[in-house]
Amino acid sequence: MGGSESEQQDGRWIGDDAVFHGEGAFWDGATETLRHVDMLAGDLITIADAERAASVVRTPVSDVLALIRRRRQGGFIVAVERGFALIDDHLRVEHEIPVFDDPGVRMNEGACDATGRLFCGSMAYDAREGGGRLYRLDPDLSVHVALEGVSIPNGLVWTDAGRTALHADTLAGEVRAYDYDPSNGRFGASRVFVRIDEESGAPDGMALDAEGGLWVALWGGGAVHRYDVRGRLDRVVPVPVTNPTSCAFGGDGGDTLFVTTSRQGIDDGEEPFAGRVLTIRAGVRGAPVHAFAG
């Protein structure tokens, strides 16, 4: 893609070297910690003093743990294998919210909009096309289907003052821009915002920066791409493992990009840093990440 800038990152690896499938990077500003999940183990990884990785704590939460976000009134909301759960500041489950009962499907990835609604996509364990949905959890804890027929839903962010939702489907190899109504949390018409060729990998988790740039972790591609507000590739940051999975801004100045990774599909003994978190100086601050209002 013409006009893009390729660079060698000067980041460092942090985190728990026992992580198998790191996902769901989340900078917890309330405690100045990086949190992410070891998804298929159901564990939460908390990294204090994350730019220097002074402390790493693993906390079992559920059989599968897909994401974590703050709740405005304290504690957290998490997505577990087949639903959601409210947990307290000590990471103990307070209340469970079942969503579906199909053992062949699990929750995968999501985010909160500016009003405090939580969205999370589901996918089939066999990753079949159209096997998932995007769910919306409202502050009153009611659950609604936001999108049908998604395959591997990933990386949800909002632009244009919340009027456009950017959502990736890893299997389709594209990020779509949806018209979004902030008053009711409904998705409307969509268009392709970014299409990624197979040689570059597949879009996984995403983060938005303060300039409107979209940072996309490329599963199978060993890189993070940044796209400008028009969807044009303008930065390529190599990641020295095959499977980067998600990214989030945080750190002391808000301009460190934390990239989670996975060992899934990697032979034992290869890629010794796979599963850990790479820190990258992005040169731009991240956009705000919203808490759940329920």
Catalytic site residues? 204
Spatial CA neighbour of 10 closest among 274, 275, 240, 209: 240
Give the separation between CA 34 and CA 1, rounded to whole angstroms: 33
Give the separation between CA 38 and CA 275, rounded to whole angstroms: 8
Give the separation between CA 170 and CA 264, rounded to whole angstroms: 15
Strand partners, 164: 159, 179
3-state secondary structure of 236: strand
| Residue 58 marked ligand-binding | no
| Residue 199 marked ligand-binding | no
| CA 145 vs CA 120, 138, 180, 185: distances in Å | 10, 11, 14, 11
Backbone angles phi, psi at 121, to 5 degrees: -95, 150
* Residue whose structure tokens are 């978190």: 277
Give the separation between CA 174 and CA 218, rounded to whole angstroms: 11
| Residue 154 marked ligand-binding | yes
Strands 83-87, 76-80: pairing kind: antiparallel
Residue numbering of the annotated binding site for substrate: 106, 108, 126
